[in-house]
Structure 1
Amino acid sequence: MCASAILQGEPWEISNAAVDPRTLLNPLVTGSLGLRFYLGIPLTTNDGHNLGTLCAIDREPRHATPDQVATRQDLAAVVMDELELRLCDASGRPGRTSPPARRDSRCSSPKRRRDTPGRDELQPPDPDPRCNRSIAPTGTKR
């Protein structure tokens, strides 16, 4: 299913894989796992290449709410920011210098703090001295 989701430019949801024609023969559906729900969010680079997917699966059929999809998109953006920072660290050159256009609506909000226990505690973006640029914030307060 991830192979199909990576080809999409948007979230790809299978609400009930047991009856969806795209997944009827998939071994994860027909086998002992009995997968029923799948939500895949493409992990997309700044220049538009899909590297993989961030996935959620379940054995029960379900529909993801818009808030659940948005939260997973935010998490996928954090994953990509971390990957791009690793690229920056490894090469000494900047990775992502600006976020993808589809994330622009979230770019003006602060990022989540990792060193505090509260999920909704926010801070402004910090400059990244390794790349001589600012890290684009990816989280939104819900």
Structure 2
Amino acid sequence: MIRTAHPARPSEAGLAEVIGEITAAADRRTHASMSPEWNFIAALLNLTHEEAAEVLTLVRADDFADYLCKAVFVMIRIIVEQRGEQPTPQAVVALARGLGDKLAPLLLSADRIMIWVSEVYSLGNPITTWSAPAKSSKTPTAATSL
């Protein structure tokens, strides 16, 4: 067995820096998971073609402040309105890959979109689509909820 020396214990400043970076990453993740724009895109990625088409009539690309949300929203619009497909993460990534170098002027790449879409799609929030309550066969009433 080959023995290797353990690295020296990091300095207190080094530990504080690592802890600070971990805390900042957790804060960014929490902020992202609470972002209405990110959650809206996550919801769109969970809708059927018909549900997404209905929602898209109510929202414009200019409604987004986050440019990455705006770009993915435009891709979802193309997928739903022009291609007649369901707006899945796979469809968004396939479209981004098809656009290739056309994304460069937007400072985007297919890989960046793929990573972002996978993060948004897996925010850790249980997504309940807007149509889910309508699909329920049992609606609670005041008497049954007591």
TM over 0.5: no
TM-score w.r.t. length of structure 2 = 0.25
Q: Which structure has more strand as a fraction of its residues?
A: 1
* Bigger relative contact order, structure 1 or 2 (CA pairs below 8 A, ≥6 apart): 2
Return the structure number with greater helix share.
2
Q: Provide the TM-score with structure 1 as the length reference.
A: 0.25
